[in-house]
Amino acid sequence: MYDRLKGFRDFYPGEMSARRETIDTLEETASRYGFREVGTPALEGTQMYVDKSGEEIVEELYAFEDRGGREVAMTPELTPTVARMVVQKQQELSKPIKWVSTRPFWRYEEPQQGRFREFYQTNVDIFGSSDPAADAEILAWAADALTGLGLTGEHFEFRVSHRDILGGLLESFDADVDTEAAIRAVDKSDKIEKAEYHGLLTDAGLSYDQAEQFDDLLAVDADDLDELITFADTDRVEAAVTNLQDVLAAAEDFGVREYCTLSLETARGLDYYTGVVFECFDSTGEVSRSIFGGGRYDDLIESFGGQPTPAVGVAPGHATLSLLCQRAGVWPEEELSTDYYVLQVGDTRPVAARVARDLRERGHVVESDVAGRSFGAQLDYADSINAETVVIVGEQDLENDELTIKDMESGDQTQVPVDEFPGDDDAPTYEDLG
Amino acid sequence: MYDRLKGFRDFYPGEMSARRETIDTLEETASRYGFREVGTPALEGTQMYVDKSGEEIVEELYAFEDRGGREVAMTPELTPTVARMVVQKQQELSKPIKWVSTRPFWRYEEPQQGRFREFYQTNVDIFGSSDPAADAEILAWAADALTGLGLTGEHFEFRVSHRDILGGLLESFDADVDTEAAIRAVDKSDKIEKAEYHGLLTDAGLSYDQAEQFDDLLAVDADDLDELITFADTDRVEAAVTNLQDVLAAAEDFGVREYCTLSLETARGLDYYTGVVFECFDSTGEVSRSIFGGGRYDDLIESFGGQPTPAVGVAPGHATLSLLCQRAGVWPEEELSTDYYVLQVGDTRPVAARVARDLRERGHVVESDVAGRSFGAQLDYADSINAETVVIVGEQDLENDELTIKDMESGDQTQVPVDEFPGDDDAPTYEDLG
């Protein structure tokens, strides 16, 4: 017997049907916003990730040398790949470019609840617009997708921040600050003690008083964001605050402001973000990790050798999303559904096959015996696949040119003429015929 | 600028939409037969493939050692993975087990037309039935899927064969035959000269006369299959011929016999097949390669440590399938479609966003400006995404509480009261309003 690899999962049909329903909701929502599906490779040259994130990223990748001597990596995320694709067809693609896709990614990390070595994400990105409406459309898609799954504002919130407010504020202190280190500290702030957080900020170059002041500034209310402009008194912070206010105003127009909470302590780990960033959290706090996140990354395309192209995106991961849905009680039922089972008794395959074919042509899910099973075994199987209606095609019935239609929930059954089934009805059941 | 890897493909939205339509047809057809979707990992332990196909298979794999010292391989096909999954839950799964999935696979091979290093397949398998009806259901699914794509019996044929007829006939010769080598020769027979073919058969242990006789036997008509029983006079050949006849009879009941041609020269390269095998070919011969193939593999589950479990399946590869569809003129159009573009003129975002939201709630594909574009730029963009209707939300119109509805094909436009759009109509267009 072979085992599957640690951190990898097999999805049997029940679980897969719930996952598929979730993926369909996310993708259909994206489709209604005009996001277009793209298909992307599972392998890329490793160098692309090294250039973006540094040599140490390789330790987290499934990276190897292929048989042609190329250093390749199983893609750990989509953003570099779609950035590469935008650069390759920059002239041909009309902007804004709005793309969506759902697929697995791979990272060599220690598995834990909601984190696997193979994990699935739906990525949604807009390239070619720096307008706050683009940020808001990403937030609106995410909110519509979650409410489409049955979640409400009781279950989730988007904690919204802005990278350039953080960077601009840090810059405005009279200190030699390592901005990246300070932002990494902010990113950790809700997971560590206050003293440790302030310690990390002082490590990054702030004095202890400055660290406290910075911490206080980040706690500002959405209505008082102008205080940050006054404090910093720099064009950079003014522009960043105005941009964040504009995004929140656009979110209001888009009908999703109610899901957004200002949370400047939210920094997002990834280095390539430049503007608004946000993370989705479980409002109840039951799922303590961030469910997923997104934000603006205006410099990536240019750093990949393309024309300067602003970009904003989000990527719900399905593992944490399913935790959220399960705890909110809206995860789809993990079960099979079947419209008809066509049960054969004796040598009745020609008629049974004809009936099954006619029902399938009407779009129904129909199974029939392909294993020469007994009446009882077929009925058990029909029950195991939750067949709604069983059509019994029996030798004796056929002598009278009849079929038996059985409602599986009630057990009621009735006879119908074989030539009249399925007839003109789109989906004939016992209720229609009994 | 980064390049994608050789043998890997990026699918931009136009091409992807055609691919998605194809995948949906295959999967929806499978769903109507009661095949249930499974989700499977991209990596497996390399040993599973070595055990099945021998050490030399590793040369064709993306195989490497992971950071935990495991020998792993990017899955080159689905069958071993689903066999592993069946073995792992053998007791719980009610049989027959009917599974479907669509996903990429990877092989390190030289790319050529219709063959890539990353390639997509839809796998459809039935486990737990040795009944000919199971083989026929696989053929019926494949035929329904292809006709669902718009293909007809003019475009494709299934060349049907039987591994045990080949093996049994070879065994019945008075010679010490290397059966696997002989079957590999048969598999190549339509790609090589007769003399070379006979040479390979004699290499495999047949005399020259026997090779000729074997070749003649394989050319038998479907109606004369009994001649093979007479020739071999073994239980094995009799059982195999009877099984093939039963499968063809079941295919008749299932309404797909017309697509099947007896072709005992079709052997399928893979070693694990045991019974009926078939390959789909372009009837016109324009696509000279096999489009895809399938067959019965009754011994695999047991060889994986499970209870003896008969199995039969098929796996259309999308690259060759798209070649067939393109040459038959039924490949879906590679273009985007959009129901509405909501065009903003001036500061009209609140109304435009409300209109877009209302239309999306009705299920339509709707885009609106997220880039602060001019009237002309927005109209060009609406044209580039093939918007059917443009809703113009202009400051001046709004002063009269009106919107302009423009039909993009004719260019006709009309005004409607802003409060009445979209109104009660499900999909209001110029036709309804003009």
- Output the CA–CA distances (angstroms, integers) from residue B399 to A254, B394, B402, B417, in the order listed: 21, 9, 7, 11
What structural domains does chain A harbor?
A: 13-40+75-328 (3.30.930.10), 338-433 (3.40.50.800)
What is the 3-class SS of chain B, one letter each residue? CCCCCCCCCCECHHHHHHHHHHHHHHHHHHHHCCCEECECCCEEECHHHHHHHCHHHHHHCCEEECCCCCEEEECCCCHHHHHHHHHHCCCCCCCCEEEEEEEEEECCCCCECCECCEEEEEEEEEECCCCHHHHHHHHHHHHHHHHHCCCCCCCEEEEEEEHHHHHHHHHHCCCCCCHHHHHHHHHHHHHCCHHHHHHHHHHCCCCHHHHHHHHHHHCCCHHHCHHHHHHHCCHHHHHHHHHHHHHHHHHHHCCCHHHEEECCCCCCCCCCCCCEEEEEEECCCCCCCCCEEEEECCCHHHHCCCCCCCEEEECCEHHHHHHHHHHHCCCCCCCCCEEEEEEEECCCHHHHHHHHHHHHHCCCCEEECCCCCCHHHHHHHHHHCCEEEEEEEEHHHHHCCEEEEEECCCCCEEEEEHHHCCCCCCCCCHHHHC
Between positions 199 and 228 of A, the ones with CB within 8 A of B are none
Select from A8, A349, A384 the Cβ nearest to the Cβ of B41. Answer: A8
pLDDT grade for B424, boundaries at 50, 70 and 90:
confident
Query: ipTM of the predicted structure?
Result: 0.95
A372 at interface of B, judged by CB pairs closer than 8 A:
yes
Mean pLDDT of B371-389: 96
Cα A192 to chain centroid, rounded? 28
Coil, helix or strand at residue A153: coil
Q: In what order do the strands lie in the sheet with B36-37?
A: B36-37, B97-106, B118-127, B311-314, B292-296, B276-282, B156-162, B260-262
- E strands of A97-182, at which residues? 97-106, 118-127, 156-162
Select from A32, A84, A380 the Cβ nearest to the Cβ of B364. Answer: A32
B34 at interface of A, judged by CB pairs closer than 8 A:
yes
**Rg, C-alpha atoms of chain B:** 28
Cβ atoms of residues B304 and B267 within 8 Å: no
How close B393 gets to chain A, by Cα (Å)?
14
Is the dihedral angle over the CA atoms B349, B352, B355, B360 positive or is it negative?
A: negative
CB contact under 8 A, B39 and A84: no
DSSP class per residue in A360-375: HHTT--EEE-SS---H
Please list the pLDDT of chain A residue by residue as tens digits (434 residues): 899 999 999 999 999 999 999 999 999 999 999 999 999 999 999 999 999 888 999 999 999 999 999 999 999 999 999 999 999 999 999 999 999 999 999 999 999 988 999 999 999 999 999 999 999 999 999 999 999 999 999 999 999 999 999 999 999 999 999 998 998 899 888 889 999 999 999 999 999 999 999 999 999 999 999 999 999 999 999 999 999 999 999 999 999 999 999 999 888 766 789 999 999 999 988 877 889 999 999 999 999 999 999 999 999 999 999 999 999 999 999 889 999 999 999 999 999 999 999 999 999 999 999 999 999 999 999 999 999 999 999 999 999 999 999 999 999 999 999 999 998 888 888 888 76
Q: What are phi and psi of A433, to 5 degrees?
A: -110, -25
Which pLDDT value is given to residue B293?
A: 94
Cα(B363)–Cα(B358) distance, integer angstroms = 9
- Output the CA–CA distances (angstroms, integers) from residue A297 to A244, A300, A313, B217, in the order listed: 14, 6, 8, 67
Task: State yes or no: pLDDT of B428 exceeds 90.
Answer: no
Do you know the residue count of chain B? Answer: 434
Coil, helix or strand at residue A264: coil
pTM equals: 0.95
The single residue listed with the structure tokens 């490793």 is A46
Which pLDDT value is given to residue A267?
A: 80
CB contact under 8 A, A118 and B381: no
Which pLDDT value is given to residue B1?
A: 83
Closest CA to A60 of A73, A51, A47, A48: A73
How close A203 gets to chain B, by Cα (Å)?
32
Between positions 323 and 362 of A, the ones with CB within 8 A of B are 336, 338, 349-350, 353-354, 357, 360
B217-260: per-residue pLDDT in tens? 999 999 999 999 999 999 999 999 999 999 999 999 999 999 99
Which pLDDT value is given to residue A113?
A: 87
User: Exposed e or buried b for every residue in B322-342, given b needs 16+ CB within 10 A?
Assistant: bbbbeebeebbeeebebbbbb
The single residue listed with the structure tokens 């299932």 is B254
Residues of A in contact with B3 (CB under 8 A): 45
Coil, helix or strand at residue A167: helix
Residues of A in contact with B136 (CB under 8 A): 370
How close B302 gets to chain A, by Cα (Å)?
10
Cα(A424)–Cα(A362) distance, integer angstroms = 10
The single residue listed with the structure tokens 């009917």 is B98
B249 at interface of A, judged by CB pairs closer than 8 A:
no
B40 at interface of A, judged by CB pairs closer than 8 A:
yes
Cβ atoms of residues A369 and A378 within 8 Å: yes
Task: State yes or no: pLDDT of B298 exceeds 80.
Answer: yes
Closest alpha carbon within chain A to B128 = A371
CB contact under 8 A, B11 and A39: yes
CB contact under 8 A, B32 and A363: yes
CB contact under 8 A, A38 and B19: no
- What is the amino acid identity at position A418? V
- What is the amino acid identity at position B92? E
Joined tokens for residue A383 = 């029950």
How close A371 gets to chain B, by Cα (Å)?
5
Q: Which of A84, A92, A123, A370 to mutate to test the interface with B (most CBs of B within 10 A)?
A: A370
B2-39: per-residue pLDDT in tens? 999 999 999 999 999 999 999 999 999 999 999 999 99
How close A166 gets to chain B, by Cα (Å)?
25
pLDDT grade for B385, boundaries at 50, 70 and 90:
very high
DSSP-derived secondary structure letter, A392: E
pLDDT grade for B53, boundaries at 50, 70 and 90:
confident
Coil, helix or strand at residue A165: helix
How many contacts, defined by CB atoms under 8 Å, are there between A and B?
Answer: 262
Cβ atoms of residues B311 and B300 within 8 Å: yes
B296 at interface of A, judged by CB pairs closer than 8 A:
no
Which pLDDT value is given to residue A305?
A: 95
Mean pLDDT of B314-339: 95
The single residue listed with the structure tokens 């893609």 is A75
Cβ atoms of residues B145 and B25 within 8 Å: yes
Which pLDDT value is given to residue A54?
A: 87
B69 at interface of A, judged by CB pairs closer than 8 A:
no
- Output the CA–CA distances (angstroms, integers) from residue A240 to A163, A219, A222, A296, A310, in the order listed: 8, 16, 13, 12, 15
Q: Identify the H or E element spanning A388.
A: strand A387-394
